[in-house]
């Protein structure tokens, strides 16, 4: 079952009001796409790009044009306004809900490295939530 973008945006998250700039950026990225059902994991080797969306979400772009949006279950407010995900979890084949992420800010400062299997370098952390796919119409 596909949901319209406005319906998903309205119901997406109670934290939406905390970072309106991030929500606006996310809506621009997803313009014209339709949301699918959330999934717990995505295949790591299929991810062609990851980007942080202004303390709101992490966007995972796939080769077929699908975009997965992950709103971290914890720590989204610690994500930089812009950034590149440098480390994700500890599972080599999949990126899953409850994994922790490391994000580098522009200029290369590492925010955190921590996997669900115990690897940890001190710093802020964000724990991934479910992955919501967005498909082109």
User: Tens digits of per-residue pLDDT, 52-88?
Assistant: 888 888 899 999 999 999 998 887 766 666 555 656 6
Domain extent at residue 126: 39-132
Q: pLDDT category, 101, cuts 50, 70, 90?
A: confident
Task: State how far the Cα of 62 lies from the Cα of 18, in Å rounded to an integer.
Answer: 28
Task: Judge whether 15 lies within some domain.
Answer: no
Task: Judge whether 46 lies within some domain.
Answer: yes
Share of the chain above pLDDT 70, in %: 59
Task: Judge whether 8 lies within some domain.
Answer: no
Task: Judge whether 83 lies within some domain.
Answer: yes
User: Tens digits of per-residue pLDDT, 103-125?
Assistant: 665 555 444 434 444 444 444 56
Task: Judge whether 6 lies within some domain.
Answer: no
Region of 136 (left: φ > 0; alpha: ψ -120 to 50; beta: rest) is beta
How high is the mean pLDDT of the chain? 75
Q: What is the 3-state secondary structure (H, E, C) of the chain?
A: CCECHHHHHHHCCHHHHHCHHHHHHHHHHCCCEEECCCECEEEHHHCCEEEEECCCEEEEECCCCCEEEECCCECHHHCCCCCEEEEECCCCCEEECCCEEEEECCCCCECCEECCCCCEECCCCEECCCEEEEEEC
């Amino acid at each position: 079952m596909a949901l319209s973008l406005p319906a998903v945006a309205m119901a997406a998250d109670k934290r939406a009001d905390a970072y309106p700039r991030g929500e606006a950026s996310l809506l621009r990225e997803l313009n014209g796409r339709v949301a699918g059902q959330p999934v717990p994991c995505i295949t790591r080797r299929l991810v062609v790009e990851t980007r942080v969306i202004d303390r709101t979400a992490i966007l995972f772009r796939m080769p077929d044009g699908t975009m997965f949006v992950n709103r971290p279950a914890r720590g989204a407010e610690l994500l930089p306004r812009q950034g590149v995900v440098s480390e994700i979890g500890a599972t080599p084949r999949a990126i899953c809900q409850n994994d922790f992420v490391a994000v580098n800010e522009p200029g290369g400062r590492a925010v955190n490295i921590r996997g669900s299997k115990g690897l940890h370098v001190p710093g802020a952390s964000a724990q991934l939530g479910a992955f919501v796919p967005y498909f082109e119409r």
